[in-house]
Amino acid sequence: MNSKKQVVEALAKVLPAEITADQINKLIEKPKTSDLGDYAFPTFILAKTMHKAPNMIAEELVGKMDQAGFEKIVNTGAYINFFLDKAAFSDAILKEVLKEQDDYGNQNEGNGGNVPIDMSSPNIAKPMSMGHLRSTVIGNSIAKILTKLGYSPIKINHLGDWGTQFGKLIVGYKMWGSKEEVEEDPINNLLKYYVRFHKEAEDKPELDDEARAWFKKMEDGDKEALSLWTWFRSLSLSEFQKIYTRLGVEFDSFNGEAFYNDKMDAVIDTLEEKNLLKESQGAEIVDLSDLDLSPALIKKTDGATLYITRDLAAAIYRKNTYKFVKSLYVVGSEQAEHFKKLKAVLKMMGYDWADDIHHIEFGLITNGGKKLSTRKGRVILLENVLNDAVDLAKKQIEEKNPDLKDKDQVAESVGVGAVVFHDLKNERRDSFDFNLEEVVRFEGETGPYVQYTNARALSILRKAGDVDFDGDLTLDDPEAWDTLKLIQEFPDILSRAGRIYEPSVIAKYALKLAKSFNQYYAHSKILTDDAGRVARLSLVKSVTIVLQISLGLLGVKAPEEM
């Protein structure tokens, strides 16, 4: 349903013909308060052409307008305020949601097009930190949003599974580690060797040489080196999997850095063919000075390849494999320049689809104002944060709803949901300082608040028993009005979230809808047995549908009771 269109049409009839429907549509705004109606049209721009004061124009236009189909149309100063017919509106929107159910809001702008999403991408042998959570959770949510918009996302976990750090790891393992220790607690112990390596290498630079030598062995296909690498990799992966399961995230591909080892020569060949490669200070570069970018370093002085070389190979591989309509990279904003360069080089290679690559950047999480650093052992372990949050959720349940069944499962959903929601509710570019208390908060603008709202609504529906959601769903209760309008806005919210790749748009919407419903809940007796009962229950049902869709899009579970 489209109530805005109704407003545009009403205006088009009385406005000068040179103003197009499209222009009208752009000028219409939503008033801040409901006493100013549901839509408003400012008449200032007409003042010049009509040679009259805006408030006069507004008054005149209102006099000429047909009020049919609206509750009323009035002017307030220079604005024309439209009040929708609440009864007709509620009936139409509730019927639509109840009919569409989980499909409510679905759109097909994507037309099935493939969209690889590079996300999560933790480094092997290092624990997942809060930083990885961002990439994982933002990527996952964007994938779900795009699915609802008709795209086919492909979630790629571009694992950090190759590079000199493995040389360091092997050296550390051989010096201080043991098979038993690693198998007991793979990630933490591997991390221990890695941190110790960096500490000791400060005084013993020969350790770095040794590490380089081991990495060289890996590249040369040395059996021992590769078998250690494979072992570290698979241990790490199964540890990561535990966290992904908790977060409810699944991947379509785990092709990480190592996967592109044999695909870089072709890239370098092409660069050479197109005469793009230049030698500079002993290294091979692509000059990007025309674009005000520093050069892209393709090959080091020692002939080894670099990050961008691998990413070029990956970009091309993804285009060939998936024929994508766009390709997303959920990576921190500190890498913005890297992606500019990546696109620039691809463009120079003649790949116009470079324009379809989008860097979905997000802000840094700091701890005490400082950047997190694995090397210095300064990390916030995601697993600990999740555990703390779940423990706290469990306590709350014991306190508030001790008879609840499946307490542990609900605590898991609520605790993890709080952490995930917290990460998604602000604009992704915002960087924030980690604060456990804030992350695991359950009151106010939080995930649990939305979950709780949904659980209470479901509880009403359970108490209502069998309801035939049919017939007249007219609801002209002013308390319900904001909620109804919000439900109707959902498809627009979804499309905006997809357009700007912003899960926070959905999170904020869910909070708004939950708040609005809680107000309704507090002021209306829904189960009262009167003529409006079915309509009110339809609203409750519709709210649960939209809240559950929204939480689902964020990757947050919606427990039925809590």
Partner RNA sequence: GUCGCAGUGGCUCAGCUGGAUAGAGCAACGGUCUUCUAAACCGUAGGUCGUGAGUUCGAAUCUCACCUGCGGCACCA
| Residues 309-368 interacting with RNA (rule: CB under 7 A) | 310, 333-338, 364, 366
Rule CB under 7 A: choose which of 314, 414, 539, 546 binds RNA.
414
Structure tokens at 393: 């959720």
Site string for RNA, 19-58 (x = CB under 7 A): -------xx-xxxxx-xxx--x-x-xx-------------
400 near RNA, rule: CB under 7 A: yes
Rule CB under 7 A: choose which of 444, 466, 478, 529 binds RNA.
444
Number of residues binding to RNA, judged by CB under 7 A: 94
Sign of the alpha-carbon dihedral angle for 270, 276, 279, 284: negative
- Cα separation, 425 vs 439, in Å, equals 11
The residue (of 139 and 448) whose beta carbon lies closer to RNA is 448
Q: For residues 295-322, b (16+ Cβ closer than 10 Å) or e, as one string?
A: bbbbbeeeeebeebbbbbbbbbbbbeeb
288 near RNA, rule: CB under 7 A: no
Specify the residue for token string 């964020």. 554
Concatenate the DSSP letters of all residues of 374-441 into one string: TTTTB--BHHHHHHHHHHHHHHHHHHH-TT-SSHHHHHHHHHHHHHHHHHHHS-TT--EE--HHHHT-
Structural contact between residues 82 and 4, judged by C-beta atoms closer than 8 angstroms:
no
496 near RNA, rule: CB under 7 A: yes
The nearest distance, CB 363 to RNA, in angstroms, is 7
255 near RNA, rule: CB under 7 A: no
300 near RNA, rule: CB under 7 A: yes
The residue (of 242 and 523) whose beta carbon lies closer to RNA is 523
Q: Which stretch binds RNA (CB under 7 A): 63-71, 110-118, 238-246, 442-450?
A: 442-450
The nearest distance, CB 62 to RNA, in angstroms, is 12
Q: Which stretch binds RNA (CB under 7 A): 8-16, 191-199, 203-211, 447-455?
A: 447-455
Pairs from 527-535 (Cβ < 8 Å, separation ≥ 24): 527/460, 527/463, 527/464, 532/475, 532/477, 534/467, 534/468, 534/469, 534/470, 534/471, 534/473, 535/90, 535/94, 535/472, 535/473, 535/474, 535/475
- Cα separation, 324 vs 116, in Å, equals 7
The residue (of 152 and 286) whose beta carbon lies closer to RNA is 286
C-alpha distance from residue 117 to each of 263, 324, 431 (Å): 20, 10, 21
274 near RNA, rule: CB under 7 A: no
The residue (of 307 and 317) whose beta carbon lies closer to RNA is 307
- Cα separation, 559 vs 408, in Å, equals 12
Q: Which stretch binds RNA (CB under 7 A): 321-329, 347-355, 439-447, 469-477?
A: 439-447
Site string for RNA, 92-131 (x = CB under 7 A): ----------------------------------------
- Cα separation, 158 vs 116, in Å, equals 11
The residue (of 247 and 562) whose beta carbon lies closer to RNA is 562
Q: Give the bridge partners for 155, in sequence order.
A: 117
The residue (of 448 and 503) whose beta carbon lies closer to RNA is 448
- Cα separation, 420 vs 407, in Å, equals 20
Rule CB under 7 A: choose which of 20, 53, 66, 77 binds RNA.
77
What residues between 182 and 241 interact with RNA by CB under 7 A? none
Rule CB under 7 A: choose which of 61, 128, 455, 558 binds RNA.
455
Structural contact between residues 137 and 550, judged by C-beta atoms closer than 8 angstroms:
no
The nearest distance, CB 431 to RNA, in angstroms, is 6
- Cα separation, 372 vs 94, in Å, equals 48
430 near RNA, rule: CB under 7 A: yes
265 near RNA, rule: CB under 7 A: no
Q: For residues 407-419, b (16+ Cβ closer than 10 Å) or e, as one string?
A: beebbbbbbbbbb
Sheet holding 114-119, edge to edge: 152-157, 114-119, 327-332, 357-362
The residue (of 113 and 317) whose beta carbon lies closer to RNA is 317
76 near RNA, rule: CB under 7 A: yes
432 near RNA, rule: CB under 7 A: yes
387 near RNA, rule: CB under 7 A: no
- Cα separation, 393 vs 401, in Å, equals 11
Rule CB under 7 A: choose which of 70, 240, 442, 501 binds RNA.
442
Q: Give the bridge partners for 279, in sequence order.
A: 284
The residue (of 79 and 324) whose beta carbon lies closer to RNA is 79
The residue (of 81 and 236) whose beta carbon lies closer to RNA is 81
372 near RNA, rule: CB under 7 A: no
Rule CB under 7 A: choose which of 350, 463, 529, 530 binds RNA.
463
For residue 331, the SS3 value is strand
The residue (of 325 and 434) whose beta carbon lies closer to RNA is 434
The nearest distance, CB 498 to RNA, in angstroms, is 13
What residues between 149 and 168 interact with RNA by CB under 7 A? 160, 163-165
478 near RNA, rule: CB under 7 A: no
Concatenate the DSSP letters of all residues of 483-543 into one string: HHHHHHHHHHHHHHHHHTT-HHHHHHHHHHHHHHHHHHHHH--TT--STTHHHHHHHHHHH
434 near RNA, rule: CB under 7 A: no
The nearest distance, CB 170 to RNA, in angstroms, is 16
480 near RNA, rule: CB under 7 A: no
